[in-house]
Chain A
Amino acid sequence: MDMKRATVSMLRRALDEKQVSARELCEECFKAIDKDEDKIGAFITLTREEAIKNAERAQKRIDEGKSGFLTGIPLAIKDNICTDGIKTTCASRMLESFIPPYDAHVAEKLKEQDFVLIGKTNMDEFAMGGATQTSYFKRTHNPVNTDCVPGGSSGGSAAAVAAGFVPAALGSDTGGSIRQPAAFCGVTGLKPTYGRVSRYGLVAFGSSLDQIGPIANSVKDCGEILNVIAGQDSRDATSSDIRETDFNRNAEKPVKGLKIAIPKEFYGEAVDEEVKTAVMNAAKELEKQGAVLVSCEMPSLKYGIPAYYLIACAEAASNLSRYDGIKYGLRGEGKNYREMILDSRNKGFGDEVKRRILLGNYALSSGYFDAYYRKACALRQKIIAEYNAIFEKSDVILTPTAPSVAYKIGSQDSDPVKMYTADILTVPVNIAGLPALSLPCGENEKGMPIGMSITGRRFDEATVLQAGRAYEMR
């Protein structure tokens, strides 16, 4: 069975119809990994032994006819999502040997289904980066062209899916970290509404922005996986009680009459022509199916990057303070507490993490708080207001996911500001807490995938998935 491009829905049918066993599927995954992982570097930890055991347990459940959507399905989880008894490193030297004594809420949800964990995927250190190049352990390569980055920070998860190691994976998205690597690797990724999925057990980066979501080979799979992991959790006060019976409930409905906003600022100079063309072609395809394209504006898009980086870094600076070498993680040396903590953090964190901690603490410092953090929060409100105005006249927003296709490894390592500005199209969605889906909409001349994003109203993943599915089934 070829795992490349296999959807979970297909594998589900194959398992339930006994065309393949859970163990065989699992072994298939490891066969692919053994063959190509050296070139890709998608994983930090592989859970080979547990996977076989779990596959056999899942098989029993399948044999009893009690399988859920993910029973026996091999999946990968980003390494900033806590897994009980399995190393969770955040791709940082700081947590190189950290084994959580608890599962993240999403891991519990997957376990309830008897899924099969294949491994924990590589990422940018503490999810800070857009190329999966800041990991302490390894760089991840894009399976489409291994000279290129896979995007990030969930680059390991996207690459694992694109390489055919797993049919789907979980990632996390603070400023585009699910959607942009999905776009770069030519797969599909969904960032749910903030509050849709419990953050309990997701190692915090930007707490008001972080959200866990699926990366898969189809829009429908994303909806199905969201069905499993979504829902209120008493351990995350920001998780919402707004319920959804089935995120795919509109997936097969035609998009006739659906109003799709095209905000012109998302198609500005910063975006490569080949990307704009591909996305506009997709818009035309949806129009052909009966959707109505609506021109609109988001004048404050230009403030998205500064607002996002101030808020995300401020929260990160505080969130990452707990890594002090006292209770867990890397402990440095020193004659006293102060020296020890300095050494721990100096050795434990990479440059990008340090840069953001500095930036965040600066923005929160007394005397600068009003000029930076407070202003960023005001901009956040402005961006939210502009989204609201757009959604008064349309149902979803169609934009490119990233300004370019995946670039060459090493080509942007030295210019952090350039890296930050590349997030311009994805961060507004996190700032406003909206759901957004990235799916492939073609490729450039060199065969590199181009992704488009469909953004919806808060808690309206169903319409986002409907539009995405309509395009996918064109």
Chain B
Amino acid sequence: MKLYPTIGLEIHAELLTKSKVFCTCSAEFGGEPNSRCCPVCSGLPGTLPVLNKKAVEYIVKAGCVLNCDISRFTKWDRKNYFYPDLPKAYQISQMPRPVCLGGYVDIVSEGEPKRIRINRIHLEEDAGKLVHEDSTRQTLADYNRCGIPLIEIVTEPDFHSAADVTAFVEKIRLLLQYAGVCDGKMEQGSLRCDVNISLAEKDAKELGTRAEIKNINSVRAIGRAIEYEIYRQTELIESGERVVQETRRYTDSTGETVAMRSKEDAQDYRYFPDPDIPPIVFTEEELEQIQNDIPEMPESRRERYINQYGIAPNETESILNNKAVCFFFEEAVKYYNNPKSIASFILVELMRRINTGEADMEKLPFRPKDLARLVEIMDSDKINKSFGKNILCTMLETGKAPDAVCDEENLWIKEDLGQAEQVIDRILADNPAVVEQYRNGEAKVFGFLMGQANRQLKGVAAPGVVKGILERKLKEK
């Protein structure tokens, strides 16, 4: 008997609004504990929530890029439960009338295209954070995160492997980033994932008993948690035991999941419509306006890069897989219209430094315009191409513009043809055997001579010029 996993996800994504969803506090990540809260988000008596229109706009955008239907009528409900990180003892969420219903995301998992269906997306508020101090055996509450707008994306159980899930999470993260609604930083908790997983024989009429794994904070961890859970449930079933319906916590250090609470502890949330927040009725014009405001998605950029810019498909993917790189690239292209050249410089030189941690894509000290200029002067033979990466390093260190770096370090090619002629004459004189080989038809040795010449003529003559002189002289003799 072969057991077949079935997996569904609940993804929580914090929205990038400036202020919280029901008050005017900053929604930025971090901050001194309890420095970003007010009477409203800390649930003081008499205070009232007022819905942030931007958050509504953002969830509509998320719904659009995930191919959902946007409800024309949507309302908010209270989910009642006691927990110290929830100041009002209810979370404002959406039950029967979420903003988005239905939808799908197409992924490629292990080479196979798959369509994952979205059940719904709703808008709710995040809770605070509890910090357990072992030394004092105290628990401290930080309400900065309380009221940060959160969307919950609920998928259908359309996944059957860890690879399916990780491909989907990567894709969704990218789509939300491109839509400008979530920064997708799993390590900061702005994108969180709960996994529901069960095993059954393939083609079985009913799904097996599921376990829910909560709050896993990286794509890698999601994959590992699922692999472990498939292993654990398989072992249980094959040894004749039963899987218990429960919530489990994944521990990264051990790669294992452990039971948190069983279904018997499940709470009755006593949902009912929140009387403080009037329902929203969208007009077609409002929805159209929000939709028009969504930035271009990777799909359409991909087509442009490959067909119009002539960038290789693998390079295209490398650019698209990082929104910051993509936006930087497109901005740079505005200043120097050679996308291929810019793409390859970014992917080879800039990304190398990003990947080694020498530079941070989000905190580059120079503008796309500066990088465009650097590629331009490299392409135009105004400097020796091989100086490019040195100039980039200086720019990363100092934030200076490429022209200034070339000025200061005296890198401009001076075009001293007399000196070039002399140097080339000497090279030819020093390598009579090679010259002989060339004249006997061994064209490949030209590269050796060219290399010699360029090395000695750095900053004196452009490679094109050097090539011309060299060719002329080889013919002359």
Contact = CB atoms under 8 A, between A and B. Distances in A.
* Genuine A/B complex: yes
Interface of A: 80-82, 88, 90, 95, 98, 100-102, 104, 199-204, 206-208, 234-238, 314-315, 317-318, 321-322, 324, 326-328, 337, 341, 361, 364-366, 369, 373
Interface residues of B, number: 30
Contacts of B46: 80-82, 88, 100, 104, 199-204
Given A199-B48, A208-B275, A324-B84, 11 more contacts: A82-B45, A88-B46, A100-B44, A100-B46, A200-B47, A204-B45, A235-B40, A237-B50, A315-B275, A337-B84, A364-B272
B278 interface: yes
Among A202, A327, A369, the one with the most B-chain Cβ atoms within 10 Å of its Cβ is: A327
A228 to B, nearest CB: 19
B157 interface: no
B297 interface: no
A203 B42 contact: no
Contacts of A95: 45
A321 B89 contact: yes
Contacts of A102: 39, 44, 47
The DSSP consensus for interface residues of chain A is loop
A54 B39 CA distance: 26
B88 A365 contact: no
Contacts of A361: 270
B42 A341 contact: no
Contacts of A365: 268, 270
22 contacts: A80-B46, A100-B39, A101-B44, A102-B47, A200-B47, A201-B47, A203-B45, A204-B46, A204-B276, A235-B40, A235-B50, A237-B276, A237-B278, A238-B278, A314-B272, A321-B80, A324-B82, A326-B141, A327-B43, A327-B44, A328-B44, A337-B84
B275 A322 contact: no
A326 B42 CA distance: 11
B22 to A, nearest CB: 9
Contacts of A203: 45-46
Contacts of B275: 206-208, 238, 315
A318 B80 contact: yes
B167 interface: no
Interface string B13-53: 00000000000000000000000000110111111111100
Contacts of B48: 199-200, 204, 235-238
B82 A341 contact: yes
Interface string B77-88: 010101010011
Nearest to B141: A326
B277 interface: yes
B82 A321 contact: yes
A98 B45 contact: yes
Given A201-B46, A318-B78, A369 B51 contact: no
A414 B270 CA distance: 30
A196 to B, nearest CB: 15
Nearest to B22: A237
A315 B87 CA distance: 17
A322 B45 contact: yes
A101 B42 CA distance: 12
B153 to A, nearest CB: 24
Among B88, B272, B277, B278, the one with the most A-chain Cβ atoms within 10 Å of its Cβ is: B272
